[in-house]
Amino acid sequence: MTDATNPLGEHLYALVDRLREADGLLVLLDFDGSLAPIVEDPDAAALPDETREAVVDLRDAPNVQVGIVSGRQLADLRERVDVDGVAYAGNHGLELWADGEEQVNPTARELREDVDAVVETVESELADVDGAFVEDKGVTATVHYRRASEDAVPDVKDAVREAAVDVDDVRVTAGKSILELRPDVDWDKGRATDWLSDRFVPDDEEWLSLYLGDDRTDEDAFDVLTDADSPGMGIKVGHEPPTVAEYRVDGPVAVHATLRWLVDYGLSFLDAEPGEHPRSSRPTE
């Protein structure tokens, strides 16, 4: 883990060099805090129109595949992004949507009742805590405490962990002002990244994989890109350390600028000879 990453705009040559070596591009994007700004009420999160337009333009480009990878429930994620023809990985990849087909991790489906039992206990414990609530996401659940008082946060965390401690098949993971209740399945955003790569990257071609994400759960995807036989590029959104990503952009506005740069300039470098396509532009940090 490192405490800082390189600003992508100052190291754009590295991305250009990687694009020149690639036959195609796999772009994987986290939703909350990356495509869409973080908001107090998770139900109010919205994808800006200009960012949606950039995603659509990438989708329509040749030799490009786009995937949205999120902790949100698959149905909720697809509704908020509202772009057909891209792949979706909801609930950290426990729910997958590609080419019009949905897949749900069978073990996660079987453990739904165990997660529900913990949720029932947590909801009872937090009933009197203002600003804390449980979001039911089907095969997982998220406990939100962003709007709770600072004094209440330790009690929220203790209540969640105590509710799950004796349930062998449910684990607790942490994110930005949330705790997640997940079935104890060996699956995460990194495994989802592998699945999407296996699904969409042709066996006889070399594609560059980009992953942009802001949360702790995105580190699993960054790890996969770092350890892969043909390493991709992890791009941390925001400045919260630590991270294993090599590059960063400031926030959702910079994510849009990066996607727009790819559409308007970057894709022209795909599989290009050195010296071709001299145009360049720096995405806003």
Scanning the structure block, which residue is given the tokens 């969640």?
Answer: 160
- Decide if 218 contacts 190 (C-beta within 8 A): no
Instruction: Mention every residue, 6+ apart, whose C-beta is less than 8 A from residue 205.
Output: 23, 24
Find the catalytic residue in 3, 30, 194, 220: 30
| Dihedral sign (CA 90, 35, 17, 13) | negative
Indicate the burial class of 285 (C-beta count within 10 angstroms; 0-12, 13-18, 19 or more): middle
Could you count the other beta carbons within 10 Å of the beta carbon of residue 40? 11
Q: In angstroms, what is the C-alpha Rg of the chain?
A: 19
- Is 229 known to be catalytic? no
Residues known to be catalytic: 30
